[in-house]
Amino acid sequence: MNEVFFNGHWVAPDQAKVSVFDRGFLFGDGVYEVIPAFNKQLFGAAAHLTRLARSLAEIEITNPLTQPEWLAVINRLVADCPSKDVSIYIQVSRGTPPKRDHAYPNPPVAPTVLASASPIAPVSEAIRTQGARAITVPDLRWNRCDIKSVNLLPNIMARQQAVAAGAAEAILVREGIALEGAASNLFAVIDGELLTAPLGPHILGGVTRNRLVDMVRTQGQLPMLECPIPFDRLFDASEVFMTSSTRDLLPITRINEHPVGEGRLGAVWQQLNHDFQQLKLQRNAQ
């Protein structure tokens, strides 16, 4: 397997060893980022690195690398990966102080830094032609979902429920509002308008979400609303899709036991997915 970037060095994955006292291991005290490359071209790297910097700042970990240093690491990982479509994983934890203590170590210790690459699996034929099913589950997460924390237990449990139910994604519902997916943002076409949850502490500000919102606004053909989607209104939607860096615009044609709209790929999704794929081909999209 290809080398990973670990605490400033390039090593084989089985040589990258984390201490049992690492705060990421003990407390989930760290953040992460996932950056895609398609056909060996990074897509949205600047926005992802900005979000990483923000997540780190929110939990008061000093960013271990500058943006050009991160880009050098990421570009090497993309180049070395045998696949053309690559997912870069970055994780930074608060490091390994000598003693387990909930409070941040004072003085701070060096963070534990990992960056690795893996292939992005192509979308299955079934999803490309028929769309996917999602289930709705209660949102059990905390009140800072805008931080891309490695504390993912509620997301993991939600996704596992989806997998166990034969669905592709779980839609998280908090106080009657359908917010986002276990690892994706949520869009719904209701009465001819495109809706997605507003940015704030209850969702992760998805890079794909933000880019799509900008694209739709620039096109000016479809009203784009950043507003809460009430759970019941989800079932009035003519189309639903969920966005993320590695799954693009995932069309949802069934939620729980109900078809979305006519239960097949919708015209809005087809157009926006087409336009989004075009965007990915533009060099300046990096």
Ligand X SMILES: Cc1ncc(COP(=O)(O)O)c(C=O)c1O
Question: Where on the chain is the footprint of ligand X (CB under 6 A)?
Answer: 34, 155, 180, 183-185, 204, 206-209, 243-245
**Rounded to the nearest 10 degrees, what angle do helices 267-281 and 207-219 cross at?**
110
CB closer to ligand X, 65 vs 250: 250
Annotate 78-90 with DSSP letters as a single string. HHHSSSSSEEEEE
As measured in angstroms, the least distance from the Cβ of 210 to ligand X is: 8
Which pair of structure tokens corresponds to residue 274? 């087409």
CB closer to ligand X, 206 vs 228: 206
Write out the H or E segment, with its range, that includes residue 244: strand 239-244
By CB neighbour count within 10 A (0-12 exposed, 13-18 middle, 19+ buried), where does 43 fall? Answer: buried
CB closer to ligand X, 96 vs 207: 207
**Rounded to the nearest 10 degrees, what angle do helices 45-58 and 207-219 cross at?**
130
As measured in angstroms, the least distance from the Cβ of 35 to ligand X is: 9
As measured in angstroms, the least distance from the Cβ of 190 to ligand X is: 20
Active-site residue list? 148
CB closer to ligand X, 5 vs 187: 187
Distance (Å, rounded) from C-alpha 220 to C-alpha 109? Answer: 49
As measured in angstroms, the least distance from the Cβ of 200 to ligand X is: 13
Which three-class secondary structure state does DSSP give residue 4?
strand
As measured in angstroms, the least distance from the Cβ of 245 to ligand X is: 3
CB closer to ligand X, 26 vs 147: 147
Handedness of CA 167, 86, 28, 210 (dihedral sign): negative
Distance (Å, rounded) from C-alpha 234 to C-alpha 146? Answer: 23
Distance (Å, rounded) from C-alpha 204 to C-alpha 61? Answer: 19
